[in-house]
Homo-oligomer: A and B are copies of this chain.
Amino acid sequence: MATRIQTIEDLCINTIRTLSIDAVQKANSGHPGLPMGAATMAYVLWTRYLRHNPRNPDWPDRDRFVLSAGHGSMLLYSLLFLTGYDLTLDDLKQFRQWKSKTPGHPERGVTPGVEVTTGPLGQGFGNSVGLAIAERWLAARFNRPGHTMFDHCTYVIASDGDMMEGVASEAASLAGHLGLGRLIVLYDANEVTLSATTNVTFSEDVGGRFAAYGWHVQRIDGHDAKAVDAALAAARAVEDRPSLIVARTHLGYGSPHRQDTYKAHGEPLGEEEVRLVKRAYGWPEDPPFYVPEEALKEFRGAVAQGEALEAAWKKRLDAYRAAHPDLADELTRVLAGELPAGWESRLPAFEAKDKPLATREASGATLNALAAVVPNLMGGSADLDPSTHTLLKGMGDFERPLDGAAGGAEGSAEAPKAQGAAGGAWGYGGRSDHFGVREHAMGAILTGMALHGGPVPFGGTFLTFSDYMRPSVRLAALSEAHVIYVWTHDSIGLGEDGPTHQPVEHLPALRAIPNLVLLRPADATETVEAWRIALQHRTGPVALVLSRQKLPILDRTVLAAAAGVARGAYVLTDGEAPSGGEPADPDVILIATGSEVSLALAAHEHLARQGVRSRVVSMPSWELFEAQPQGYRDSVLPPSVRARVSVEAASPLGWERYVGSDGAVIGVSRFGASAPGAVIMREFGFTPEHVAETARAVLGRVRSREERSRR
C-alpha cells in the first residue's frame, strides 16, 4: 500500500473522506464534496467536543448534532459507523439502496444517531434552534442546585445553501434574541453551491449578518484542525449568545479536477478521480471502504467515553430521585412522552345554552386547562396570540434570563411566580414561546423541540399562513414528530381581511400530506375532543383547524356525543324516523366539517320541513375516519345511500371520495373576498336554503336514475 505516513488526525479525517467518496461512488449517486470539505471540522467536533453515547442514541442528556446540509449524509453515516453506533460498514455499502439504513438524506427513525431529518436546506438549522430551546427549558424546569440533569449543546454543520434560506435567517434571528448560548453552528463556507460558485448569487457578509442577530461570530480556516478546536472552545465559553463559526473550506477537498467546482457537489467523482483523490490523500487506492485500524480505534474511543458519560448521568439521576422524587417522576414521564394521571380531568365542558364561541376561543380555553396539568405542553404563535388564542396564561414567557446567565447549567429552583418574581424572571423556564412573525422558523423549531424529547410543542398562526411553514410541516410528518399546529381563521368566514387571508386550498393541500392528522372541529365541544386527540397522537403532527367566527355550541342532548371525533366522522343526527317508526336509511347525507356543521344542521331542519330525511355527518378528520374499519365507515356513510352532499367552505378538491359520482360538493372554487364574514358566506352560497336545495336536487337525480335502472 502506498500509504503516506499520516498523523492520527490525518488518518481519521481521510477515513471520513474516503468512506464518503467510496459510498457515493458505489451508489453512483450522492454528494461527495461536502464530506471531503467538512471532514476536519467533523473530526474535531466528534472526537473532542461531542458528548454522546453511541451505545444509546437516546441518552437524554447527549449533545445534539445536526447536519443541516443533509445532502452530505455520508459525512454523518461515516461518523456514526466510526464512533460505534449500530451502523456497519455493510450499511455504508448499501448507501441509497432500497430499505437500507443509509438513505440519500439523513432520516430520523431510520438511522440510529440521526437526530433530525434533513436535506431540504435551512430546515436542520431551524430544527437546531428548537433542540436548543428544549434543552434550556428542560434545564430550567428540572435542574436543581447540585443536580444538573440537563447540560448539553446543540452542534450544527450548515452550508452556504442553508445560509441562503429564509427559514434559517428567521431561526437565527430568534436564537440571537433568546441568547441560546449552547447552540453552536459550524458554517461550512465552501463558496460553491449546486449550480455555481456563490459569487454568482451570494456575496453578503454572513458573519456580519449573524453579528447583527446578536450571535458570537468567529472566522477560521476549516481545514486547520487547531483553528477548529480553538473556535469550538471559544464558542463553548460564550454562554449568553449562540455561536457561528464561519469556516472557509474547499468543496471536494483534494480532488485534482473537481475541488471547488460545483461538479463536486452532487455527483460521484468517477472511478478515475477517486483514485486520484486517494493518491492525493496518500491513501491506498484499494480496497474501497478501507478503514485503518488506528483511525477506527481513535473514533471508537467514543464508546467507552459515552458509556461513562451516561453512567455518571444515571448516578446523578439516582441522587436527583432521592432528593426530588416528584420532579424525578415528572422527568421520567416527560421524557417517555407520557401524560400525567388525570390529565383529562380539567378539560372544559360546554353546553348548548352557553353563548356561541369561536372554536379558536374554545381551543384557547382547552389549551390553558391542559397546560395547567401537562407541564411539558408549551408553545405559542407567530405573533398572533390575541387572534389564535394560543397564549398560556401565567406560565411565563420563554425568554433570555434577566440575570444574563443564559447558559447556566442550573435552572431556577422554583418557578419564579412562587417566588413572586416578575414575569421576565421566568427566563428559560417560561412555557410561552414568542416566535415573532416567523411562521417558517416556528415550524422548524417546533419539530426540533418535539424530536429533542421533553416538550409537547404547539404553534399557531392563521390557516392561510400554514403555507409559510409547509416545508417544516412536511418534515415533521416524515419524521413522526409530535407537534400540534393551531391554525385559526380557517375559511372565507373570517371576513374583512379578504382573499389574502382567507384559506381556500389549504384543507386539501394539508390532507394530502402523509402522516398529518388534521382536525376541523364543529363547535367548542368538538374542539375539546380535538385537543384530547392531539395530545395522545404521538406518531406524527396534528393540525387543529379553527374558526375565527363564533359558532353555536351543538346541543349534545339531542345530537350524538362529540366522542365521535376520535373516529374522524360520526353521525350527528338522522332526525326523527318517519312517523316514529323504525329508523331506516336517510334519504340524503349531509357531510360537513367545522363551521359548516351547524349550517348542515340548519339545512337538515329545512329538509325535514320539506319531508326529506337527511343525516348530518360531522367529519372533523379524514385521516382518522380512514383509519376506521370498513364496517364503521359504512355505518356512517351507507353505500346504499348515494344522495350525498358535502359542505365545507374550502376547495372542493377531494370531496368526491365521500359524496361519490352521484353526490354534490358545496365548496369554494375561487379566491375569497373582503367583506363582513356573514355577507361572504351568504354570497358564496353557504346558506341553509342553498344546502337544502342542493340536497333535494341530488336526491332527485339519484331517485330518477334508480327508477330508470329499475325499469
Chain A residues close to B by CB (< 8 Å):
27, 29-30, 70, 96-100, 103-105, 107, 117-122, 160-162, 164-170, 173-174, 176-177, 193-196, 198, 200-209, 211-214, 262, 266, 381, 383-387, 397, 399, 434-438, 440-441, 464-465, 467-468, 470-471, 474-475, 477-478, 495-501, 504-506, 508-509, 511-515, 642, 651, 653-654, 656-657, 660-662, 669-671, 673-676, 679-680, 683, 709
CB distance from A180 to the nearest CB of B (A): 13
**Given A200-B397, A656-B660, 16 more pairs with CB closer than 8 A:** A96-B674, A104-B500, A105-B501, A107-B500, A120-B464, A121-B437, A165-B166, A165-B170, A166-B168, A194-B437, A195-B385, A209-B212, A468-B471, A504-B513, A512-B651, A514-B670
Are A161 and B437 in contact (CB-based, < 8 A)? Answer: yes
Are B386 and A194 in contact (CB-based, < 8 A)? Answer: yes
Given contacts A161-B383, A671-B515, contact A201 B435 (CB under 8 A): yes
Closest 5 CB pairs of A and B: A166-B166, A103-B674, A201-B436, A208-B212, A505-B512
- Interfacial chain B residues near A505, Cβ < 8 Å: 474, 509, 512-514
Q: How far is the CA of A120 from the CA of B503 in the complex (A)?
A: 12
- Interfacial chain B residues near A161, Cβ < 8 Å: 383, 437
Are B385 and A166 in contact (CB-based, < 8 A)? Answer: no
CB distance from A317 to the nearest CB of B (A): 35
Which of chain B's residues has its CB closest to A433's CB? B201
Are B475 and A500 in contact (CB-based, < 8 A)? Answer: yes
Q: How far is the CA of A167 from the CA of B441 in the complex (A)?
A: 12
CB distance from A14 to the nearest CB of B (A): 25
Given contacts A674-B100, A674-B104, contact A173 B195 (CB under 8 A): no
Which of chain B's residues has its CB closest to A507's CB? B512
Q: Select A193's contact among B100, B383, B441, B513, beta carbons within 8 Å.
A: B383
Are A383 and B194 in contact (CB-based, < 8 A)? Answer: yes
Are A679 and B98 in contact (CB-based, < 8 A)? Answer: yes
CB distance from A510 to the nearest CB of B (A): 8
- Interfacial chain B residues near A512, Cβ < 8 Å: 504-506, 508-509, 651, 653
Q: Select A195's contact among B105, B383, B475, beta carbons within 8 Å.
A: B383
Are A498 and B107 in contact (CB-based, < 8 A)? Answer: yes
Q: How far is the CA of A496 from the CA of B74 in the complex (A)?
A: 13
- Interfacial chain B residues near A501, Cβ < 8 Å: 104-105, 119-120
- Interfacial chain B residues near A499, Cβ < 8 Å: 103, 107, 478
What are 12 sample pairs from A and B whose C-beta atoms fall under 8 A apart?
A104-B496, A104-B498, A107-B499, A120-B468, A165-B437, A165-B468, A195-B385, A208-B212, A212-B212, A474-B505, A505-B514, A514-B651
- Interfacial chain B residues near A675, Cβ < 8 Å: 96-100
Q: Select A169's contact among B99, B166, B262, beta carbons within 8 Å.
A: B166
Are B194 and A204 in contact (CB-based, < 8 A)? Answer: no
Are B441 and A166 in contact (CB-based, < 8 A)? Answer: yes
- Interfacial chain B residues near A198, Cβ < 8 Å: 436
- Interfacial chain B residues near A654, Cβ < 8 Å: 508, 653-654, 656
- Interfacial chain B residues near A438, Cβ < 8 Å: 164-166, 201
Which of chain B's residues has its CB closest to A478's CB? B671
Q: How far is the CA of A112 from the CA of B500 in the complex (A)?
A: 18
Are B511 and A653 in contact (CB-based, < 8 A)? Answer: yes
Q: How far is the CA of A162 from the CA of B160 in the complex (A)?
A: 23
- Interfacial chain B residues near A381, Cβ < 8 Å: 195
Q: How far is the CA of A437 from the CA of B709 in the complex (A)?
A: 59
Q: How far is the CA of A170 from the CA of B174 in the complex (A)?
A: 16
Which of chain B's residues has its CB closest to A196's CB? B434
- Interfacial chain B residues near A176, Cβ < 8 Å: 203-204
Are A440 and B194 in contact (CB-based, < 8 A)? Answer: no
Q: Select A29's contact among B213, B477, B495, beta carbons within 8 Å.
A: B495
Q: Select A105's contact among B204, B471, B497, B509, beta carbons within 8 Å.
A: B497
Given contacts A104-B497, A121-B437, A512-B653, contact A177 B203 (CB under 8 A): yes
- Interfacial chain B residues near A642, Cβ < 8 Å: 661
Q: How far is the CA of A510 from the CA of B438 in the complex (A)?
A: 23
Are A98 and B383 in contact (CB-based, < 8 A)? Answer: no
CB distance from A688 to the nearest CB of B (A): 20
Q: Select A660's contact among B202, B397, B435, B661, beta carbons within 8 Å.
A: B661
- Interfacial chain B residues near A202, Cβ < 8 Å: 173, 177, 436
Are B104 and A164 in contact (CB-based, < 8 A)? Answer: no
Q: How far is the CA of A384 from the CA of B195 in the complex (A)?
A: 6
Q: How far is the CA of A170 from the CA of B383 in the complex (A)?
A: 20
Q: How far is the CA of A16 from the CA of B162 in the complex (A)?
A: 42
Q: How far is the CA of A468 from the CA of B169 in the complex (A)?
A: 14
Which of chain B's residues has its CB closest to A206's CB? B212
Are B514 and A436 in contact (CB-based, < 8 A)? Answer: no
Q: How far is the CA of A204 from the CA of B170 in the complex (A)?
A: 11
CB distance from A554 to the nearest CB of B (A): 28
Which of chain B's residues has its CB closest to A677's CB? B29
Q: Select A119's contact among B99, B498, B671, beta carbons within 8 Å.
A: B498
- Interfacial chain B residues near A214, Cβ < 8 Å: 203-205
Which of chain B's residues has its CB closest to A626's CB? B669
